[in-house]
Structure 1
Amino acid sequence: MASIDLDKVLDKAWADKSPPEILAAPVGALKGVSDRDGELLQEAFGVKAVAGLAELKYVRRAQALAALGAAK
C-alpha cells in the first residue's frame, strides 16, 4: 500500500487524526479545500465528509479516465 504524507494533504488540525476520523471529517480538512468549497460540494453533490468525496462517482470516473491516459 502506498504511503501518504498526511502533512501534505491535510490541514494541520487533522494531520494527527486516525484514518476513520479523517474519513469522517468535513472536506475542508483537506489542504486547499476551503469551508466554502465544502459547502459547494455539499450543495452540488451531497458530499459532507472526506469519505463522501472519495466515493463520489464523478471523482471515480475522472480517476479511471486519468489512469487510462497515464497508461498510454
Structure 2
Amino acid sequence: MASIDLDKVLDKAWADKSLPEILAAPVGALKGVSDRDGELLQQAFGVKTVADLAELKYVRWAQALAALDAAK
C-alpha cells in the first residue's frame, strides 16, 4: 500500500487530525480546495466530505483509466 504525506495534501488545520476525522471533513480540508470549490462539488455531485469525494464514481473511473495507461 502506498503511503501519503498528510502535510502535502491537507490544510495545516487538518494535518494533526485522525483519519476518521479527515474523511468526515469538508473537501476544503484538502490543500488547494477552496470553500467555493467545496460548494461547487456539493452542487454538482452531492460531495460534502473527503470520503464522499473518494467514493465519487467519476474519480474512481478517472483513477482506473490512469492506472490502465500507467500499466501499458
Same fold, TM-score > 0.5, yes or no? yes
Q: Could you tell me how far 1:2 is from its partner in structure 2?
A: 1.8
How many positions carry a matched residue from both structures?
72
SS state at 2:42 partner: helix
Q: Could you tell me how far 1:47 is from its partner in structure 2?
A: 0.2
Q: Could you tell me how far 1:69 is from its partner in structure 2?
A: 0.7
TM-score (norm 2): 0.98
Unaligned segments of structure 2, at least 5 residues:
none
For 1:3 and 1:17, locate their aligned partners in 2 and report how far apart those are by CA, in whole Å.
16
| Structure 2 match to 1:56 | 56
Unaligned segments of structure 1, at least 5 residues:
none
TM-score (norm 1): 0.98
SS state at 1:44 partner: helix
For 1:45 and 1:38, locate their aligned partners in 2 and report how far apart those are by CA, in whole Å.
10
Q: Could you tell me how far 1:3 is from its partner in structure 2?
A: 1.5
For 1:39 and 1:25, locate their aligned partners in 2 and report how far apart those are by CA, in whole Å.
14
CA root-mean-square deviation:
0.5
